[in-house]
Structure 1
Amino acid sequence: MKMTAFLLLTACLHISAKGLSQQITLSEKNAPLKKVLKEVARQAGISVVYDETLLSTFAPVNIDVKNVTVKEAMDVCLKNQPLAYVMEGKRITLVNVMPERVADSSITVTGRVVNETNEPVPGATIRIQNSSLGTAADGNGKFTIKVPNSKSVLIVSFIGYDSKTVAISGNTLNVQLKPSQTALTETVVVGYGIQKKSVVTGAISSVRAADIESQPVTRLEQVLQGRTSGLTVAASSGQPGSASSVRVRGITSFNNNNPLWVVDGVVVDNGGIGYLNQYDIESVEVLKDAASQAIYGARAAAGVILVTTKKGKAGKMTVSYNGYYGTSAPAHKLKLLDATQYATLRNEAVTNDGGTPVYADPKSFGKGTDWQAQIFNNHATRQNHEISISGGSEKSTFYTSFGFLKQEGIVASAISKYERANFRLNTTHKITPWLTWGENIGYAYDKSTGIGNTNNEYGGPLSSAINLDPITPAIETDPALAAGAPYKDNAVRRDAMGRPYGISPVVGQEITNPLAYISTRLGNYNWSHNIVGNTYLEMEPVKGLKVRSTLGAKISFWGDETYTPISYLNSSTISPRTSFARGQHQGYNWNLENTVSYTKSFGLHNLTLLAGQGAYMENRTKDVTVTFYDIPADNFGDASLNFKSAQANRISDGNEGIDHRVSSLFGRINYNYGEKYLAEGILRRDGSTRFGPNHKYGVFPSYSLGWVASKEGFWPENKVVDFLKFRGGYGTVGSDDIGDLAYLATIGSGRNYTFGNGDGEKYLIGYSPNAPSNPDLKWESTSQTNIGFEATVLRNITVAFDWYNKKTNDILQKPRIPYYVGAIDNPAANVGSMKNSGIELELNYHNKLGEVEFSAGGNVSYIKNKVTFLGNGVKTLADKQERFQGMPEIVRTEVGQAFNSFYGYQSLGIFQTQQDIDNYVDSKGNKIQPKAKPGDFRWADLDGDGVITDKDRTFIGNPMPSWTYGVTISAAYKGFDIVVFGQGVSGNKIFQGLRRLDITNANWQTKALDRWTGPGTSNDNPRLTDLDKNKNYTNPSSFYLEDGSYFRIKTLQIGYSLPGTVTKRIGLQKIRVYVMSENLLTITKYTGYDPEIGGTNALSIDRGIYPQARSFMGGLNVTF
């Protein structure tokens, strides 16, 4: 035998005492070696690693032993076989033993096998292709092997990694293995720990660094969209730096539905995650069911998202650069009427009401002004640069990074920008073999300018561009007109050449020339500094027992500076005096957690215990705002340095927040038997300052079970299902999101009154009760049942399926009370319940097809939401209504319906003739719509009383998607790689409310060209009318609802990595260049800017949302 075999056999003598102590009883005749090894592994509670393609070539085994050690059993199994084995911990690695002599042309090759983070892979198998000869890597990943000649090819493999074929290019090789995407041996982050995915009993989805880094985003939540099942992410605005709405398994409450974000153990709010740089993220775990969430108890009702940042690794220091630069443009523009079309339709609307045409010659206006072209930027720049440095020794490791991001908005770029600079430092220090100290600190400074009103029909550049008439010029260039009214007013805004911006004579109120509006906001900005981090001390006095204390904090400073010049935008929008406002705010949150965990294995029994205590404080804020009026300055720069205003012209305001404190005790027990039978139990007790002594504390338990069926002895040998695990759980989590001191009766100021008349009157400051107390106010609770399974099929396909049923009870809200009670506000109470149920499916495939490495993955989720209780005798929820202009509420929450569903009149088509109107009668023969005219909507008389009233309104659509899905396809070939990622939703409606209804002269989209103009011309778009006596346009109705389904190619990236032989010659580890696009294609029937419309209380209401940009970029990744 050669020296390698000797070393392997010597290593066998140093296997763990625990492994040797296991007693093996086995009797087989002429049995396949694989079967015998599997039984030894099962009885010993260990794993055996081998090359499956070679194992079948060895001779059958005859064995008959009773109560022998693992070593004795292995020696019998491998007797007269050309095999040796290495046992490290609970893993045995089998390798072929090479003959002593090889051909004279043989050469000796040495090398090292490492993983994706350049850590050694002990026990990796190195085999000569088309041969049964091979060896194994030692504890440092190093190996030595003799090969027949220089043309030999090696196959390197290890469990949980993709095999790699390596050509002999010299006497020394460095081989890097990539983790197999289908390996269920990977770990996932759970609350206060890490678990093997194969033994997790909760519903947890993960997003890894490779996916996070493949998509250019300004905020972390944007990259999670479509990446995992059960998670709905919708942009609230396409403005750079804007946050998105994030929902885990739907709407859970009438209140805050934002998930709990935990970054390296520090709790941060949804808006606060903007400080994170995507290249610093190692992984994101979404805890979706109560069994996994319950460890966070009181604040986990809306779901939990765990973010883990990158840490340093012992070894050579690594320096990496990631960056891209590109441009953005609107992916879609509205089809609006040009000036000729507008004048023609305005004439028609007036004449339909019996008036005289307004415009004598519509064609004379030509195309007119394209207001969208005036504000959209087709070449908005965006860039991101990040440098990270990591490394360390066995005692200390570090990871640090510096990043800079800058992005221009595609709408009104002069006042739509976002910049962020960030820094991160993560370190760990092994002070003694049993004591470790570490810290994780992130800092970010951001500066943003915004266009003001977004998703708002009341002004702002976007709403004005949609509604302003195209006849008005962007800039008035006619000297005669510019010298007259209204331009002779000195406060009219002008361009750099002194020409006045056009003012519409027919469209007014908040709808103004967007160029003039932009000129009044130049220089205004918002800023923030965010520091989020923690420091911890961990002791392991005895093996398996860990004591950890963690102190985390978030410190924030933010503010804004706004200058308002004297301006005249139209007769309704006038600013008669200058002002400069400066706001400064600060916030401070902290949390202290102490945990004790103990892990012990005895035989096939594996047990982990966790106990912990936590204290949390948030909302410690201070706010100061000062406004200076009549500043002698005409631009932001001068105003920000000039505060020459009289004391009487200064207004200041300030306040301090009320501390929100939570104290907690929690525990968890994890048990599994041979990683086959799994059980977990969690109990958490939280106390909150938001509740009185009667119900200050809440208890939140959960339990879950799992069964790995594929590990059973009766599981048949097959090549189809490699792994199968069933799991289920039930638990309860809570929420205290009702505001501070809500259980108390408080007194408020500002209730002032004037006594007396004339000279004797007195103005007195008054106080009165805010709301009655409720000492029985208690926790809102959400219970959830989850059943699912995970499987690996055909070695390359992983499947995960979940069904869940989630119910929230005792929902915190403020139900209305009669005014005669005397309180200004409504008291807080636990009234209401809601249910969500759904299914989720995740599929992933990974394989190497020849020289092409191919992966495909997808996820799909279905959810159904229903309100089940609003109080005794209460049918509808009054305080969450959304209105549109002068209409009654357009959404309603009612028992038996989805939360905030669209509510309005149902159109049955359009009356084509007077005969149709005459024939639409009630049971007594009376006309239901006697004032209607041909071209008007026929409204459904749902209550059958023969009159169209508010009682005929009904639920006409759900704003929440029933289905959400995402798909990723990637391939790599000889240095080239491509990744395509798409996502979409289905089953929801969008309320398209882009036009100002109270401004009859507002412009229309071109779908108005398909209006009803006579019998048979349209059954969808009514006639044009300003008087609108039938309320075709002013009724909330199905007319405004459109299909919100869409599919979007979110990211397409094509890259090329230089060969290792080239990068080594220039002293680099890796160079990759790439090009990519974002929002390349959106397939939808929706006629607005963008079908992706987030929101707080109600999704899918489009009042003029800032659209998503289509971007094209080039990037570079370099590792030194």
Structure 2
Amino acid sequence: MRRRPFTGKLLFFVLFFLGGSNLMNARSQTNAWLTSYSQVSLSVANQTQEPRAQARSISNILADARKVFDVDFIYESRILPEARLVIDVEKYKTVEDFLDELLRPYNLKYKKVLAKAYVIYSSNTELKKLVSGLVHGNTEMTTELLHTSGADARSIVVTGRLVDEKGAPLEGVSVTIKGSNKGTLTDKEGNFRLDVQNENAVLVFSLVGYQTKEELVGRQTDIQLTLATQSQGLNEVIVVGYGTQKKSVVTGAISSVKSSDLEDQPVNRLEDALQGRTSGVTIAANSGQPGSSEQVRVRGTTSINNSDPLYVVDGVPLDGGGLDYLNPADIESIEVLKDAASQAIYGARAAAGVILVTTKKGKAGTMRVAYDGYYGTQAPSRKLHLLNATQYATLRNESSLAAGPGHGIIFANPASLGQGTDWQSQIFDNSASEMSHQLSFSGGTDKSTFFSSLGYFDQNGIVADPISWYKRLTARFNGSHKINPWLSFGENIGYSYIKNQGLGNTNSEFGGPLSSAINLDPVTPVVITDPTILNDQNSIYNRKPVERDALGRPYAISNYVGQEETNPLAYIKTQQGYNWSHNIVANGYLAVMPIKGLELRTSIGTKLAFWGSNSFTDSFYLNGSTGNAIPTFNRDNENLFIWDWENTASYNRHFGLHNLTALIGTSAWENNQGTGISGSFQYMPVNTLGQATPNYSLPNADKVANGYDGIVHHVSSEFARVVYSYDDRYLLEGQIRRDGSTKFGPNNKYGYFPGGSVGWVVSRESFFPTDRNPITFLKVRGSYGVTGSDNIGDFLYESTVSGGRNYMMGNGYAIGYSPNAPPNPNLKWEQTKQTDVGFDAVVMNNITVTFDAYNKKTTGMLLAEQLPEYVGASGQPTGNVADMTNKGLELELGYTKKVGQVQLGFRANGSLLQNRINSMGVTPYTVVSTFQSSAYEISRNTPGHAIGSFYGFKTLGIFQTQADVNNYVNKSGQLIQPNAKPGDFKWADLDGDGQITSKDRTFIGDPTPHYTYGFTATAAWKGFDILVFGQGAGGNVIFQGLRRLDIQSANYSTKALGRWTGPGSTNSFPRLVDGDPNSNFTNPSGFYLEPGAYFRIKTLQLGYTIPQSLLRRWTLQKVRVYLTGYNLVTFTHYTGYDPEIGGGKNTSIDRGFYPQARTLQAGLSVGF
């Protein structure tokens, strides 16, 4: 019985798996597929099992025959008919039998004229002409080789083989005769065969990524050559969306970081691997706390709403980051898709950039075991210069007296107070520990390979380390398996468990140990030791549940600074709790390759996360406004489930100098945004978190539980891409994606996102000079594309109702519900259109240069639209009303060279960026960040300015005398600043109305860095190696708001010692006076702005690798020891802890930023 043909199974596979983009229609589609399959099966049932051969031109058939019979055919191309035939050349025993059957139907003849040459002709006249040409060498004829080329009877047949520096064969090397267009290409084994006219012919061997070589034929008939690598970068294979490409033919703007760039630089997070190593990517720490994430911006801030890039890990899209689970030691490569043409394949979630992360895979061969571990100590890289007790008391007396009658001195004898308490030293840890251990196993056979790893990372914080720590345990297994030559499958599974405790967002004005250490007065001691106070039963230390140290001494409470600013050591004692999370990110794939060049793939990926926290708050008293009377245990649990199903069909074919790759696919992605439950248990009879449990029997009134369900976000997509190249010289790529999202209504549920790019490898042109030309490779490219963003709220296109709108009815209080903002059924995608032009070059064979210029415009950004008050809406509808532009330049450089026994390497990059909001509809501005207790904001979004620009008053110096105050009058002769005194700021009356009001504010600074840069320099010699990595940014200003403005008794920095004290003393720091009648400190102004530029030696590492000759007896492959320093030195004029300040909308605003640590590490790497 004849078996069902494989083609039918293949078609069923294709139809089934390419239907996954719309699960809601899956059942009806499956029925249609089954019907189609049954019809196809009938049509192929009577066919033979072997696939039918393809019809080909006669010239191609002659090319096959030339290889089979080892002869040449000489003819004029015009005589060959255009027929396409199906002929198996190998079935013929002799060349004559073959020619008889091939030529007879077309009245063509042949004649053997040489031992291995046949002339094909149509008439005797033509035969004579061809033979005469052979004798006299004056007639052009065609010899069918791998490519058409000329030959004559006196030609020399040259064969040979091309390999790389490791001896591997090079396929596709262009072998041409210099000065002509005649040539051929090497096959898969690197072999070639070419007829040349005489011994004086010069052969030119060229392949993108390798140094071009010329060879005189002379008496050689067999040429064996090795082509040297032109540059490391050009031969790299980089990951792009749903595939890979050779860097030499990439037409988009893509930056790549490989594992080899990181293997000697242990990093704690993925973002650390990108900072300073890729152009166009601005990274700033959100905090220096252990485990803290970092702010990543690809080519600037893309939208007012959300500018976080899309992360794709092993093919699984992860919106909103959540990369804590990923162990950086498991990363094989990171690619950043920066231009829209590269991003368009990800459509609606790619507007802010796409970061592709590929984890390590196993390789066939002996199992490899690798270990890397280090231990380090951390310390603050700097401390703030704050006033000591004597200085503080002196300035407080001065400020009080300046307030006028009724205000006297506060401290009778400031000098007697001495240095007082250095609160920073009390909470900083100069020897906070950090350790990492990574163990991996990899190997396999030609049928199955694997990579597995275990990792452990433990870091204590440098601020309040008892309540600032982070621990991460990771595990990974990646496998790939080949069942037979056409069927394979694989899996990638990553797991992490994280447990940590942190200080929350220290970059705020509301207390915490860091803010308290900055603002608390130095007069207050750490603990109370005065027996008079301790023995006084009416003392607050005996009446209240104050915190005590290990010796039972109460922590002191300040008599001068209150509110949330408390004794930081006492605060630490009140914090009992931790956060935890389990994360699993996994995917599996099945791939079928039914014919050469065609791959059908289906993959299913998922992220499953569980997280929560446990905390216990005992009764405590820190000061008059900060305390807790009810012992409370809190517990919450949440979960998240994301799945992604993608199906692709890709086809790649080489034909001559042409290369074509096509891809089509579907995707279904769903984010179940989480469900959760939380519980609060009050009056629990315990004192510590370890004793607390929800199992205690408590009255129902003391137990509160809340639960919620998350909202499901679904995206359904189809996409396609075509990549074409000719001779690796002319490059063309186009892609398009169609996305449908549940976040949009029926009017605009689907969006289309096209992209295209072109490239021209100029250095492969015949006119490109090769002799003494320092430029050995040059590619110019350009791209344009459209991407989108659906990172917005849910159900904005529908009318929703919320509670909390309660009201009085009669004498009772009724619970009320009312509509939220009016719906907008026409809500649609934010779109980002981007144009990019650039070039890639290699200079002197070892210097790589990449340059890009781009213009990125985001239109239709979502913003609340203002409605007239008579509408009576409780909120404002969201509309596509705002536009923004980012323009920039990027440059990347690379250099490698071996000088004697020293291997040198250098990589550098730099970027320039300009950001502007173009329009915001009818909305004149939106507030971004407020200014503590002031009525004024710090920053706002306004058309014509950069996002989050600082907004405030402009100063014209300081009034030095009363005459200066009296002379600052309006047109009516009235004082513009009637409350001012000598020593106060002179505010600019920008609107000219003769008084200082809110209308006199203006834009005073840009928080976004205008330029970023970084470099890595390496050198290695006889096992010793050194690495220096530096990075920096600048062009922005930082709002230094570390001091609490609403607490006039808060401590000052030592800059206050240079305050105004009399005429001519200073023109930049105003006088100190209680009440601040001139709003010197409560008005946001340039007084708080400082330059944000910095340069940091991020990494300095010294290493030594033990020679292999000493390791063989222990069967070790590698042993390396190293010393590493991180954040060793920072050059900046900024006076805060750290000039690298992220924080989203609060970028470059410093209210107590947790500083990054300076770290020293000692490590060991071992390979088996």
Same topology, TM > 0.5:
yes
In the alignment, what sits opposite 1:68? 143
Mapped contact 2:231–2:845 kept (Cα < 8 A): no
Q: Relative to 1, partners in 2 of residues 1:465 and 1:528: Cα closer, same or farther, differing over 3 Å?
A: same
What is the match of residue 817 of structure 1? Answer: 867
Q: What is the deviation of 1:218?
A: 2.5
Alpha-carbon separation, structure 2, partners of 1:256 and 1:386 = 34
- Residue aligning to 1:41: none
1:848 paired residue among 876, 898, 912 = 898
Change in 2 beyond 3 A, CA 1:180/1:477: farther
2:1136 corresponds to 1:1088: yes
1:80-119 counterparts in 2 under 5 A? 85-86=160-161, 92-93=162-163
Alignment counterpart, residue 502 of structure 1, candidates 543, 548, 556: 556
Which of 591, 595, 611 lines up with 1:558 in the alignment? 611
- Distance of 1:1026 and 1:64 partners within structure 2: 104
SS in structure 1 at match of 2:446: coil
Counterpart position of 1:1042: 1090
Shift of 1:140: 11
Which of 905, 915, 922 is residue 970 of structure 2 equivalent to? Answer: 922
Alpha carbons of structure 1 residues 282 and 16: separation in structure 2 relative to 1, 3 Å: farther
Q: What residue is the counterpart of 1:1110 in the other structure?
A: 1158
The structural deviation recorded for 1:14 is: 14
Report the equivalent of 2:799.
745
Say if 1:593 and 1:614, in contact at 8 Å, map to a contact too.
yes
Superposed CA deviations along residues 1027-1057 of structure 1, whole A, max 9, x for unmatched, are 1111100001000000000000001111000
| Superposition deviation, residue 181 in structure 1 | 5.5
Distance of 1:195 and 1:972 partners within structure 2: 30
Q: What code does the residue aligned with 2:529 have? A: T
Count of residues in Structure 1 that have an aligned counterpart in Structure 2: 999
- The match for 2:457 is 405
Equivalent of 2:349 in 274, 278, 299: 299
What are the within-5 Å matches in structure 2 for residues 1065-1076 of structure 1? 1065-1076=1113-1124
Change (3 A) 1:1090 1:627: same
* Structure 2 residue 244 is matched with structure 1 residue 194: yes
Report the Cα offset of residue 750 of structure 1: 2.5
Of the candidates 733, 740, 751, which is equivalent to residue 687 of structure 1?
740
Aligned to 2:441: 389
**Pairing partner for 2:924 from 871, 875, 880:** 875
The answer (yes or no) to whether the contact 1:752–1:766 under 8 Å persists in 2 is yes
| Maintained 8 Å contact 2:930/2:937 | yes
Give 1:648's match in structure 2, choosing from 680, 701, 720: 701
**2:520 matches 1:468:** yes
Partner Cα separation in structure 1 for residue 964 and residue 465 of structure 2 = 51
Aligned to 1:315: 365
Q: Given the alignment of the two structures, is residue 459 of structure 1 paired with residue 486 of structure 2, yes or no?
A: no
Output one character per residue of 1:174-207: Cα deviation in whole Å (capped at 9) or x when no partner: xxx9987544122111000001111111100001
> Relative to 1, partners in 2 of residues 1:637 and 1:807: Cα closer, same or farther, differing over 3 Å?
same
2:839 to 789, 812, 820: 789
Q: Which amino acid aligns with 2:793?
A: G
Question: Partners of 1:122 and 1:469 in 2: how far apart?
Answer: 74
Task: Identify which range, 356-365 or 748-757, moves more after superposition.
Answer: 748-757
Output the CA distance in 2 between the equivalents of 1:24 and 1:671. Answer: 32
Q: Where in structure 2 are the equivalents of 1:527-538 lying within 5 Å?
A: 527-538=580-591
SS class of match (2:1104): strand
Shift of 1:883: 3.5
Q: How does 1:248-287 map to 2 (within 5 A)?
A: 248-287=298-337
The CA deviation string for residues 220-276 of structure 1, in whole angstroms up to 9 with x for no partner, is 112211110000110010000011110000111111110000001001134411111
Kindly report which structure 2 residues correspond to 1:207-356, keeping only aligned pairs within 5 A, or say none.
207-354=257-404, 355-356=407-408
Is the contact made by 2:635 and 2:680 (CA closer than 8 Å) also made in structure 1?
A: yes
**Alpha-carbon distance in structure 1 between the residues aligned to 2:75 and 2:1156:** 64
Q: Is the 8 A contact 1:981 1:1049 kept in 2?
A: yes
Structure-1 residue corresponding to 2:1006 = 958
Which SS does the other structure have where 1:482 is aligned?
helix
Q: Which of 458, 465, 481 matches 1:429? A: 481
Q: Deviations over 1:964-989 (max 9, x none)?
A: 11111111011011110000001000
Give the TM-score normalised by the residue count of structure 1: 0.86
Measured in 2, the distance between the counterparts of 1:179 and 1:1071 equals 28
* Maintained 8 Å contact 1:244/1:1094: yes
Give the residue type in structure 1 aligned to 2:143. V
Deviations 1:487-517 (A, max 9, x none): 1124111112111001001111100001110
**2 CA distance for matches of 1:70 and 1:23?**
11
Residue 1051 (structure 2) aligns with: 1003
> Which runs of no fewer than 5 residues in structure 1 stay unpaired?
1-11, 26-61, 87-91, 95-112, 115-119, 125-137, 142-156, 164-176
Encode CA deviations 1:345-400: one digit per residue, 9 max, x unaligned: 10010111122111110011111111011100000000011001000100000000
SS of corresponding position for 2:543: coil
The answer to whether structure 1 residue 575 and structure 2 residue 631 are counterparts is: no
Counterpart in 2 of 1:938? 986
The letter of the residue matching 1:877 is T
Q: Is the 8 A contact 2:170 2:189 kept in 1?
A: no
Question: Equivalent of 1:898, from 935, 946, 971?
Answer: 946
Give runs of aligned pairs for residues 133-212 of structure 1, distance below 5 A.
182-212=232-262
Distance of 1:1029 and 1:549 partners within structure 2: 70
Amino acid at match of 1:539: V
More deviation, 645-654/434-443: 645-654
Distance 1:187 1:22 in 2: 40
In structure 2, what is the Cα distance between the partners aligned to 1:307 and 1:193? 13
Cross-structure match for 2:500: 448
What SS does the aligned partner of 2:892 have?
strand
Report the counterpart of residue 765 of structure 2 in structure 1: 712
Amino acid paired to 1:835: T
The AA in structure 2 aligned to 1:68 is: T
Give the corresponding residue for 1:130.
Answer: none
Q: Is the 8 A contact 1:24 1:73 kept in 2?
A: no
Answer whether contact 1:494 1:500 (CA < 8 A) is retained: yes
Give, in whole Å, the separation in 2 of the partners of 1:14 and 1:325.
Answer: 67
SS in 2 for 1:1039: helix
Q: Which residue of 650, 665, 672 maps to 1:597?
A: 650
Per the alignment, residue 91 of structure 2 pairs with: none
CA contact (8 A) 1:882 1:1098 kept: no
Which whole-Å deviations, capped at 9, do the CAs of 1:411-466 have from their partners, x for residues lacking one? 00000000000001000000111011001110000001012341112100000000
CA distance in 2, matches of 1:225, 1:183: 19
Q: Distance in 2 between matches of 1:162 and 1:339?
A: 70
Whichever of the two has the greater Rg, that structure is 2
| 1:293-337 deviations in Å (ceiling 9; x for gaps) | 000000001000000111001111100001111100000000111
What TM-score do you get using the length of structure 2 for normalisation?
A: 0.82
**Partner secondary structure for residue 1055 of structure 2:** helix
Task: Encode CA deviations 1:526-580: one digit per residue, 9 max, x unaligned.
Answer: 0000000100001110000110101000000000011111000001101011001
Q: Does the residue aligned with 1:353 lie in a helix, a strand or coil?
A: coil
- Partner residue, 1:1052: 1100
- State the Cα deviation string for residues 606-631 of structure 1 (Å, max 9, x = none): 11111010001013311100000000
| Cα drift, residue 756 of structure 1 | 2.6
Which of 495, 505, 520 does residue 574 from structure 2 map onto? 520
- 2:469 corresponds, among 417, 422, 426, to 417
Please state how far the C-alpha of 1:698 moved relative to its aligned partner: 0.5
Q: Counterpart amino acid of 2:424?
A: Q
Distance 1:876 1:309, change over 3 A: same
Deviation at 1:915, TM superposition (A): 1.8
Question: Partner of 1:487: helix, strand, or coil?
Answer: helix
